[in-house]
Amino acid sequence: MIELLKNIFGKNKIQKVEPEPVKVSGKCLKLLEWEQFLERLHQTDHYISRKEYLPEVQKFSETMQSLKTIDEHGVLEAYCNQNGFALEKARVLYSEYENIIHLVDQINDSYVDAKLVEEQSYLDQILKEVDPVIRLDEDQRKVVLSDEDYSLVIAGAGAGKTTTVAAKVKYLVEKQKIDPKQILIISFTNKAVNELRGKINRDLNIPCPIATFHSTGNAILHKKDPEKLNIIDGSKLYYCVQGYFRGTILKDPGVVNSLILFFASYFDAPYEGDDINHFFNHMANANYATMRSELDDFKEEIIDRKSRKKVTIQNEIVRSIQEVEIANFLYLNGIEYTYEPIYPYNIRMASKPYTPDFKIMQGNHTAYIEHFGITEEGKNFLYDEKTLTAYKKAVNDKISLHRQHGTELIYTFSAYKDGRSISDHLEEKLVQRGFELHRRSDEEIVKKLIAMEENKYIRRLVFLVINFIRNFKVNGYDEGDFAELARKTSNVRTRLFLDICHGCFLEYKKYLIENHAVD
């Protein structure tokens, strides 16, 4: 025990624990100061704002953290005895520190309740210059009497927001002796601002500034920069991002590569959780069109059974996000494929023809690809034990069928023990089987993507990037923060997305600087 106390408070400071209390030592003087501060709060006869008490509370944070550490080590009683302080009082003071916001709220509520009675006559007549029949209700009076540094008034249409704000301003000026120039009133719409000006500036003759959020921000910017600034709307960001994808991106091979990889493998990332409801919501909103169909490279013709006419398939839709990844990998690497062809041999006792996921062809070399919806270790959180057993049997039946008829089968799993992607494993297996990968150039793919205005990849990505950049700027981030955000994540999809957004952000920032504009 003594050694532990030495470690916490410094060697040779404590020799032994005395049962008799001594004079309060320097270590506990801060607790006495905190107690005195609480007494002053209780004796306060005005509304206590956060600006008034939070800086004081911060002064005691180190003392209270030390007290918490001592208590967690089970030596608080010994510490109090050694320093001449009552154990229960120390615990009460710490508890009040932890609940200081609640305590101040209670004090302020009591103050407002007393003022409601004391100022009743004044509040009854507070807006007689505006309209003699106006009578504030209790909630409105509480808003007027509360004296926080910043006040936000929220209510439905016609509920009396303008009336409440006008009454509060008059109370601040007449009762609290606040200079009207030190009061700023902001609203969203010009209509609301005009109503407030009518009641406050004209009827009450109080010359405080009243403005919209937009004009307030504009005034602040012009105060720092007297030159005329161009205020642009949200559409400019859209055109900047769109323009970046149409041309500028081709100048940066690194971002082009990130874009292709993001499209091919990570745009609609597979669900990684274990919540069944979230999984089905994810499935319902997923898009399983492949790059081959989206880039208008898929023109397979079939015969309509009723009309006997040829019909061009405009969209190639597969069954899962992971099959999209496989199809995109094959397309990007020049491997010709057919999705779900009818296999020339049937599985015994099967009720319908067997259709492997993919048939791939390169010259005279043909193989089939099956993607199994279980991990390499044979797991799937969606399946109960019985279903999983049946699924594994179906997997073995397919593998056996290919062996029996001498057809080449390449198979993939939903996840691998080594953590590498499906594409990585597929590439490895294709090369081992003698297939040659002829990577389509990134420039070719990107040009096809940006040439198609209705392409789902670019269309969705543009809006995704726009929303990200808006939130990025609203939260005060700038160019240097991209590296920090990337450093904080190990998620490949997130890193690729940040890389793409970084390029778009720089393009937009460049436009703002060149045009001396702000958004």
Query: Tens digit of pLDDT for each residue in 183-233?
Result: 999 998 899 999 999 999 999 999 999 999 988 988 887 777 767 777 787
Q: What is the pLDDT of residue 20?
A: 44
The answer to whether residues 40 and 25 touch, using CB atoms and an 8 Å cutoff, is no
pLDDT, tens digit, 9 for 90 and up, residues 123-148: 999 999 888 888 999 999 999 999 98
Residue type, 289: A
Q: What is the pLDDT of residue 462?
A: 82
Q: What is the pLDDT of residue 297?
A: 58
* Average pLDDT for the chain: 81
Residues 6+ apart with CB under 8 A from 266: 492, 493, 496, 497
pLDDT value at 96 more than 70: yes
pLDDT, tens digit, 9 for 90 and up, residues 233-286: 778 888 888 888 777 776 777 777 777 777 665 555 444 445 545 444 444 445
252 three-class SS: coil
pLDDT value at 500 more than 80: yes
pLDDT value at 316 more than 90: no
DSSP class per residue in 81-138: HHHT--HHHHHHHHHHHHTHHHHHHHHHHHHHHHHHHHTHHHHHTTTTTT-TT----H
Confidence of residue 306 (pLDDT cuts 50, 70, 90): very low
Confidence of residue 314 (pLDDT cuts 50, 70, 90): very low
198 three-class SS: helix
* Both tokens assigned to 362: 């390169």
Confidence of residue 296 (pLDDT cuts 50, 70, 90): low
Q: What is the pLDDT of residue 307?
A: 47
pLDDT, tens digit, 9 for 90 and up, residues 471-496: 898 888 898 899 888 888 877 778 88
Q: What is the pLDDT of residue 400?
A: 92
Residues 6+ apart with CB under 8 A from 238: 462, 466
The answer to whether residues 324 and 318 touch, using CB atoms and an 8 Å cutoff, is yes
CA distance 473 to 469: 6
Confidence of residue 291 (pLDDT cuts 50, 70, 90): low
Task: With CA atoms as reference, report the closest residue to 332 among 247, 443, 413.
Answer: 443
The share of the chain scoring above pLDDT 70, in percent, equals 81
Confidence of residue 18 (pLDDT cuts 50, 70, 90): very low
CA distance 264 to 326: 9
Confidence of residue 27 (pLDDT cuts 50, 70, 90): low
pLDDT value at 22 more than 60: no
CA distance 259 to 235: 23
Task: With CA atoms as reference, report the closest residue to 172 among 153, 191, 152, 149.
Answer: 149
Confidence of residue 21 (pLDDT cuts 50, 70, 90): very low
Residue type, 295: L
What is the distance in angstroms between the CA of the first residue and the CA of the last residue of the chain? 62
pTM, two decimals, is 0.49
Q: Which residues pair with 75 in a beta bridge?
A: none
Q: What is the pLDDT of residue 11?
A: 43
Residue type, 84: G
Task: With CA atoms as reference, report the closest residue to 323 among 256, 273, 370, 262.
Answer: 370
CA distance 405 to 403: 6
Q: What is the pLDDT of residue 284?
A: 44
Q: What is the pLDDT of residue 287?
A: 53
The answer to whether residues 127 and 166 touch, using CB atoms and an 8 Å cutoff, is yes
What is the pLDDT averaged over residues 17-27?
A: 47
Confidence of residue 2 (pLDDT cuts 50, 70, 90): very low
What is the pLDDT averaged over residues 335-362?
A: 86
What DSSP state is assigned to residue 357? Answer: S
Q: What is the pLDDT of residue 26?
A: 58
